[in-house]
């Protein structure tokens, strides 16, 4: 309560007031702005250093004695390994073009959330340790010592960045804060400074094949429930196969789709689509995770988790791999997987068995995004669609950061969307496609304890959604990302009540007329279809 | 405060240059010959060192920032420049980035789109001042080649006449002189006037601005006001270029100040943020084609990692798998 | 000229000061960005604050605070409810309007006949506004807790469903 500003203080507002320099402003851990620290067990399982019980707000982080040395060596090592890192440490001119492009800065007003300053947190230490000017001139050259306060600042702010790459679109040198955050988090992990919301899923995924820690029989069981629901809606019983050798296609999707609503409706959409096509495909319980929280930990951990996908494809002897709707999963698959765990020369170039289309663009990594796959189906008239079934929805499209700025998949989902719904409205131009705003909860920040951070970070996205909600009656925010599906819902609940969230293939499945289905009266969520509603009203 | 430190540092340099130029012939030799030679050597050597250092770190992953539609199905129009899938696309993307500051322009477009005024016009000014600054600097450097060449070639003459097409004053006013000083002034003002830019600014951000302003100012003073012995300057320049340096007695101290400041800039260059001039060409988010799915990108330090194999997984869950009716490798 | 007319005339200056008062609780060096109030989509924080206060001031001039201010109040309070302010600090800027109006009118005008009564009405409206804001602020906070609970529920829904079906079978 003591923070109440006095009127006199308020009157003094002035741009020119000298503020404390950012280097002199130590980090303050504010509740709702950070996640719980990693638990020792989660680190032990994957062999990460310094497993121990610790709490971010505690003064003592129980660090190894030579923590500074470890970090400096870690930086040196990464400067040698990554040109991006080395270059981005040197070439920033601090023009400020990126400053107001970050959703976290817009939502928090905290200057250290400006991408340029987030990068300076590490750059200042780089100058001190790795440049002659910094060693001699110190603060004059923008250099500072690596202290415990600095380390805490790193932790706080590198876990307030979702690696969405929006800043990098606007930077005249293409400096990508995601790269710097990735490396910053790698460094923190050298000291066991992860968050449990990432470390837990990572250890789960390592041992059990997916982030949620679903064991093989649970995966089968969960899908059974969806199959029940599908039967209720369509009258058709689907029998998917698991871990089946000799299938043509391996299907991998984020495990969130198997478990939590509304991802499960998207998952039901996949099941129905594949059934309708008669696709020769299999699920895997071993490679049951498309997402990769390892990528939010370290390059090595990302690779360790990702290895399962090719390994399983090889073991099962499939021809190629189809991937479900996910954002960061596709950043990893599209820009990292083949490099990490390729060459996948035991697979064939993906070819749609339905249309015969060969996906030349995935010639080497052999994996196709389901939005690409479905767009091709629709283009070739392979699906019978009744978009009127989605007439109760006015849909807008949220471009997920990773598929937009780390892949460039912008038109495929839109093409699908236009064919399965009649009412599609775009959000304002500067908030979509390559300029899309993040959900504010990516990169493993979708815990509950940092809800305030998420609500602030997602504010620019919600604000755009609110605009189309108010002006065009948009009531559904569709996307191709499991984290979006899980986190945009609460975001909408807070900012734009009345807007729901769904995956693309939920809408596809709702519109798709299946062979031999009964007359549908509800959508996948069990809500009455618009024509049924109308009938009921007449009666 | 940071701006003041930089300002004082540059003033000091001006004073040193001026005193050096006014002292005896040894001093003039030092400032007119030794300084430019060594500065140029430092520039070349350390710029190469810097670039080699960057180049020595590999690019382990193909990480272009994709700012447009990818190349996928033939009937979906891909964005060949913003999300290039060919070398040609990358070349155009880089050319736009380097020649017209494409990404900064995107910034401007975003802000204009929302019809903002006030600080929103700022994006436009930043982009324009950036362009004006870099192009003026380049043209001015090019014009200066006339001092190093016995006979002034046609391209330089052409640039000179274009640059002074307004035909104002005698000697004719060069537009680039005005543009350079104006742009540098603007870039300085925005640094102190925009709170968030001021907050992120370091001494190293103000120093080059003051330094370049001082170089421009001394140049302008010499050309339009104090008058300098051009013949002497040319003799000196020709001497420098032919490695047979001679220091004419007739050149004023202002000239030495100009040359000294320029020498400082060249020597400072490889150790400062100004290396972005070279760095921009090497930025992996801009200079790579988005072809990671089509062609395997090789990471030279890719190493084997511990994985949890299917066998281990089945060992952990065999009974549960069998119970759920899942096929297993080993019964 | 009535007080209302006078304040209407001075509206833009007053609202600007009100925005400043709200921004004063942010870090000084972030204010520049937040002060940009035209960019509805790329800088929604500044835009919403400005639009909201503009609307609220009109309502204060009418002297009646009803549910109709909800939209404008929402634009100014909802973001602050999740930013790291103490509740008092989050809402303090709203009552600053009283002082801002007085400063803008100047001492002489304040003593003018009639102004004092009109001003009392204005103050009363401002107080009402504060009460509305308090309600909204609490709604926002409760919503956050509600969302956290919801999230936990939706994450375990399938588990519960499963547990239920096991129970049914038994």
Q: Is residue A166 domain-shared with residue A105, that is, in the same domain? A: yes
Neighboring chain A residues of C93 at a CB cutoff of 8 Å: 10
* Domain total of chain C: 1
Residue A371, domain member (yes or no): yes
Residue A30, domain member (yes or no): yes
Residue A1, domain member (yes or no): no
pLDDT at residue B227, rounded to an integer: 80
User: What average pLDDT does the structure give for chain C?
Assistant: 85
A115: nearest Cα among A151, A163, A67: A163
Q: Is residue A327 domain-shared with residue A436, that is, in the same domain? A: yes
Tell me how close the Cα of B121 comes to any Cα of chain C, in angstroms: 11
Q: Is residue A190 domain-shared with residue A207, that is, in the same domain? A: no
- How far is it, in rounded angstroms, from Cα A104 to Cα A456? 7
- How far is it, in rounded angstroms, from Cα B62 to Cα A406? 10
- The minimal CB distance from B103 to the residues A15, A120, A171 is found for A171
Phi, psi angle pair for A320, to nearest 5°: -155, 175
Q: Is residue A310 domain-shared with residue A170, that is, in the same domain? A: no
Q: Could you read off the pLDDT of B210-257 as tens digits, one per residue?
A: 999 999 999 999 988 888 888 889 989 999 988 988 888 888 889 999
A489: nearest Cα among A538, A418, A440: A440
The residues spanned by each domain of chain B are 2-323
A293: nearest Cα among A190, A444, A486: A444
Question: Chains contacting C with at least 3 CB pairs below 8 Å?
Answer: A, B
A503: nearest Cα among A253, A294, A234, A282: A253
For residue A270, what are the contacts with CB-CB under 8 A and spacing of at least 6? A251, A253, A257, A324, A370, A505
Q: Is residue A218 domain-shared with residue A187, that is, in the same domain? A: no
Residue A29, domain member (yes or no): yes
Residue A3, domain member (yes or no): no
**Could you give the strand order of the β-sheet that contains A395-397, starting from the edge strand earlier in sequence?**
A395-397, A476-479, A500-503
From the CA atom positions of chain C, what is the Rg in Å?
21
B26 touches chain A (CB under 8 A): no
Chain-chain contact of B195 with C32 (C-beta, under 8 angstroms):
yes
List for chain A the helix, strand, coil content (%; round to 5).
50, 5, 40
Alpha helices, DSSP H only, in A53-112? Answer: 67-81, 83-90, 103-108
- How far is it, in rounded angstroms, from Cα A89 to Cα A142? 12
Residues of chain A with pLDDT under 70: 1-19, 533-539
Q: Is residue A158 domain-shared with residue A212, that is, in the same domain? A: no
pLDDT at residue B34, rounded to an integer: 94
Neighboring chain B residues of C50 at a CB cutoff of 8 Å: none
Mutual angle of helices A411-420 and A504-511, in 10-degree steps: 30
Domain, as residue range, for A377: 200-511
C144 touches chain A (CB under 8 A): yes
A448 touches chain C (CB under 8 A): yes
Q: Is residue A416 domain-shared with residue A434, that is, in the same domain? A: yes
Q: Which of A194, A221, A250 is the last residue of a domain?
A: A194
A279: nearest Cα among A242, A249, A254, A257: A249
**DSSP assignment letter at A25:** S
The B residues from 152 to 211 touching A (CB cutoff 8 Å) are 193-197, 199-205
* Smallest CA–CA distance from B114 into chain C, residue: C39
Q: Which CATH number fits domain B2-323: 1.20.1530.20, 3.30.910.20, 1.20.950.20, 1.10.10.60?
A: 1.20.950.20
- How far is it, in rounded angstroms, from Cα A254 to Cα A259? 10
The model carries a pTM of 0.92
- How far is it, in rounded angstroms, from Cα B270 to Cα B274? 7
Chain-chain contact of B114 with C42 (C-beta, under 8 angstroms):
yes
- The minimal CB distance from B111 to the residues C31, C32, C39 is found for C39
The B residues from 237 to 296 touching C (CB cutoff 8 Å) are none
* Smallest CA–CA distance from C153 into chain A, residue: A260
Q: Could you read off the pLDDT of A280-325 as tens digits, one per residue?
A: 999 999 999 999 999 999 999 999 999 999 999 999 999 999 999 9
pLDDT at residue C27, rounded to an integer: 75
Q: Is residue A165 domain-shared with residue A204, that is, in the same domain? A: no
Going C103 to C105 to C111 to C114, the CA torsion angle's sign is negative
Chain-chain contact of B114 with A334 (C-beta, under 8 angstroms):
no
Confidence of residue B181 (pLDDT cuts 50, 70, 90): very high
Residue A42, domain member (yes or no): yes
pLDDT at residue A190, rounded to an integer: 97
Cα A289 from chain centroid (whole Å): 13
pLDDT at residue C163, rounded to an integer: 64
Tell me how close the Cα of B56 comes to any Cα of chain A, in angstroms: 7
Question: Chains contacting A with at least 3 CB pairs below 8 Å?
Answer: B, C
User: What pairs with residue A282 in β-bridges?
Assistant: A250
**Mean predicted confidence (pLDDT) in C5-9:** 89
Cα A416 from chain centroid (whole Å): 21
pLDDT at residue B187, rounded to an integer: 95
For residue A317, what are the contacts with CB-CB under 8 A and spacing of at least 6? A245, A246
Domain, as residue range, for C13: 3-169
Q: Is residue A243 domain-shared with residue A323, that is, in the same domain? A: yes
pLDDT at residue A539, rounded to an integer: 58
* Domain total of chain A: 2
pLDDT at residue C170, rounded to an integer: 53
Residue A524, domain member (yes or no): no
Q: Is residue A329 domain-shared with residue A204, that is, in the same domain? A: yes
Q: Could you read off the pLDDT of C79-118 as tens digits, one per residue?
A: 999 998 889 989 999 999 999 999 998 888 888 878 888 8
Confidence of residue B42 (pLDDT cuts 50, 70, 90): very high
Residue A339, domain member (yes or no): yes
Neighboring chain B residues of A164 at a CB cutoff of 8 Å: none
Least confident interval from A10-19, B92-101, C65-74: A10-19
Q: Is residue A411 domain-shared with residue A479, that is, in the same domain? A: yes
């Amino acid at each position: 309560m003591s923070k109440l500003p006095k009127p006199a203080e308020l009157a003094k507002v002035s741009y020119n007031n000298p503020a404390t320099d950012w280097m002199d402003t130590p980090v303050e851990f504010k509740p709702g702005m950070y996640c719980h620290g990693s638990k020792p067990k989660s680190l032990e399982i994957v062999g990460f250093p310094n497993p121990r019980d610790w709490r971010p707000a505690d003064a003592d982080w129980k660090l190894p004695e030579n923590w500074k040395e470890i970090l400096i060596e870690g930086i040196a090592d990464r400067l040698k390994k990554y040109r991006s890192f080395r270059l981005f440490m040197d070439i920033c001119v601090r023009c400020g073009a990126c400053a107001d492009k970050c959703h976290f800065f817009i939502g928090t007003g905290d200057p250290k959330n400006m991408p340029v300053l987030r990068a300076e947190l590490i750059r200042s230490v780089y100058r001190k340790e790795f440049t002659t000017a910094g060693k001699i001139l110190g603060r004059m050259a923008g250099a500072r010592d690596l202290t415990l306060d600095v380390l805490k600042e790193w932790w706080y702010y590198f876990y307030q960045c979702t690696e969405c790459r929006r800043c990098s679109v606007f930077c005249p040198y293409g400096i990508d804060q995601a790269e710097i955050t990735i490396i910053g988090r790698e460094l923190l992990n050298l000291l066991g400074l992860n968050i449990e919301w990432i470390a837990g899923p990572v250890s789960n995924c390592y041992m059990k094949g997916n982030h949620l820690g679903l064991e093989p029989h649970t995966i089968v069981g969960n899908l059974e429930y969806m199959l029940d629901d599908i039967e209720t809606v369509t009258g058709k019983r689907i029998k998917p196969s698991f871990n089946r050798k000799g299938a043509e296609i391996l299907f991998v999707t984020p495990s969130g789709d198997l478990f939590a609503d509304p991802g499960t409706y998207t998952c039901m959409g996949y099941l129905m689509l594949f059934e309708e096509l008669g696709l020769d495909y299999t699920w895997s319980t071993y490679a049951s995770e498309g997402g990769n929280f390892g990528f939010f930990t370290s390059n090595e951990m990302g690779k360790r988790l990702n290895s399962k996908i090719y390994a399983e494809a090889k073991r099962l002897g499939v021809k190629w791999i189809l991937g479900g709707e996910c954002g960061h999963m596709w950043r990893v698959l599209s820009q990292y997987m083949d490099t990490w765990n390729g060459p996948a020369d035991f697979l064939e170039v993906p070819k749609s068995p339905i249309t015969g289309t060969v996906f030349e663009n995935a010639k080497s990594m052999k994996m196709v995004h389901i939005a690409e796959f479905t767009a091709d189906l629709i283009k070739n008239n392979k699906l019978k669609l009744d978009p009127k079934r989605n007439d109760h929805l006015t849909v807008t499209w949220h471009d997920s950061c990773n598929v937009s700025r780390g892949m460039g998949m912008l038109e495929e989902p839109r093409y699908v969307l236009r064919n399965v719904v009649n009412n599609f409205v775009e959000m304002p131009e500067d908030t979509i496609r390559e300029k899309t705003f993040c959900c504010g909860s990516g990169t493993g920040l979708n815990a509950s304890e940092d809800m305030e951070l998420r609500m602030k970070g997602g504010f620019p996205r919600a604000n755009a959604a609110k605009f189309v909600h108010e002006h065009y009656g948009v009531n559904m925010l569709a996307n191709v990302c499991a984290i979006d599906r899980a986190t945009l819902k609460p975001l909408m609940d807070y900012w734009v009540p009345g807007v729901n969230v769904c995956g693309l293939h939920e809408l596809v499945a709702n519109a798709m007329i299946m062979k031999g289905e009964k007359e549908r009266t509800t959508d996948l969520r069990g809500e009455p279809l618009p024509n049924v509603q109308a009938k009921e009203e007449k009666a | 405060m940071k701006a003041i430190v930089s300002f004082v540092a540059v003033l000091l340099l001006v004073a040193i240059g001026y005193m050096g130029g006014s002292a005896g012939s040894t001093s003039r030799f030092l400032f007119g010959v030794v300084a430019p030679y060594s500065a140029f050597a430092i520039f070349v050597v350390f710029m190469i060192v810097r670039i080699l250092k960057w180049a020595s770190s590999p690019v382990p992953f193909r990480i272009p920032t994709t700012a447009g539609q990818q190349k996928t199905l033939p009937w979906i129009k891909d964005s060949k420049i913003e999300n290039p899938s060919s070398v040609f696309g990358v070349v155009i993307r880089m050319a736009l980035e380097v020649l017209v500051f494409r990404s900064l322009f995107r910034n401007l477009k975003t802000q204009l789109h929302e019809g903002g005024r006030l600080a929103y016009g700022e994006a436009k000014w930043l982009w324009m001042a950036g362009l004006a600054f870099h192009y003026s600097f380049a043209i001015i450097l090019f014009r200066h080649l006339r001092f190093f060449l016995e006979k002034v070639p046609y391209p330089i003459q052409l640039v000179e006449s274009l640059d002074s097409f307004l035909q104002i004053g005698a000697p004719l006013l060069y537009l680039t002189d005005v543009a350079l000083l104006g742009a540098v002034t603007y870039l300085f003002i925005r640094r102190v006037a925009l709170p968030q830019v001021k907050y992120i600014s370091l001494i190293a951000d103000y120093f080059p601005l003051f330094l370049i302003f001082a170089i421009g100012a001394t140049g302008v003073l010499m050309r339009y006001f104090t008058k300098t012995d051009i013949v002497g300057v040319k003799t000196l320049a020709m001497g420098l270029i032919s490695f047979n340096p001679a220091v004419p007695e007739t050149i004023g101290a202002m000239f030495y100040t100009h040359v000294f400041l320029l020498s400082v800039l060249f020597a400072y260059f490889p150790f400062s943020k100004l290396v972005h001039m070279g760095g921009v060409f090497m930025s992996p988010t801009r200079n790579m084609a988005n072809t990671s799915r089509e062609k395997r990108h090789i990471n030279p330090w890719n190493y084997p990692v511990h994985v949890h194999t299917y066998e281990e997984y089945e060992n952990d869950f065999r009974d549960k798998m069998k119970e759920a009716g899942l096929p297993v490798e080993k019964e | 000229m009535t007080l209302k007319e006078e304040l209407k005339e001075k509206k833009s200056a007053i609202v600007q000061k009100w925005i400043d008062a709200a921004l004063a609780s942010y870090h000084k060096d972030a204010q520049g960005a937040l002060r940009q109030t035209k960019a509805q989509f790329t800088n929604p924080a500044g835009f919403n604050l400005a639009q909201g206060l503009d609307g609220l001031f009109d309502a204060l001039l009418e002297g009646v605070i009803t549910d109709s201010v909800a939209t404008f109040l929402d634009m100014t309070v909802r973001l602050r409810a999740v930013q790291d302010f103490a509740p008092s600090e989050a809402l303090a800027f709203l009552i600053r309007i009283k002082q801002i109006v007085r400063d803008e009118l100047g001492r002489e005008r304040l003593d003018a006949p009639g102004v004092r009564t009109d001003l009392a009405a204005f103050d009363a409206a401002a107080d009402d506004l504060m009460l509305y804001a308090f309600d909204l602020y609490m709604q926002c906070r409760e919503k956050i807790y509600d969302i956290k609970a919801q999230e936990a529920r939706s994450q375990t829904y399938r588990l519960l469903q499963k547990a239920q079906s096991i129970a049914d079978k038994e």
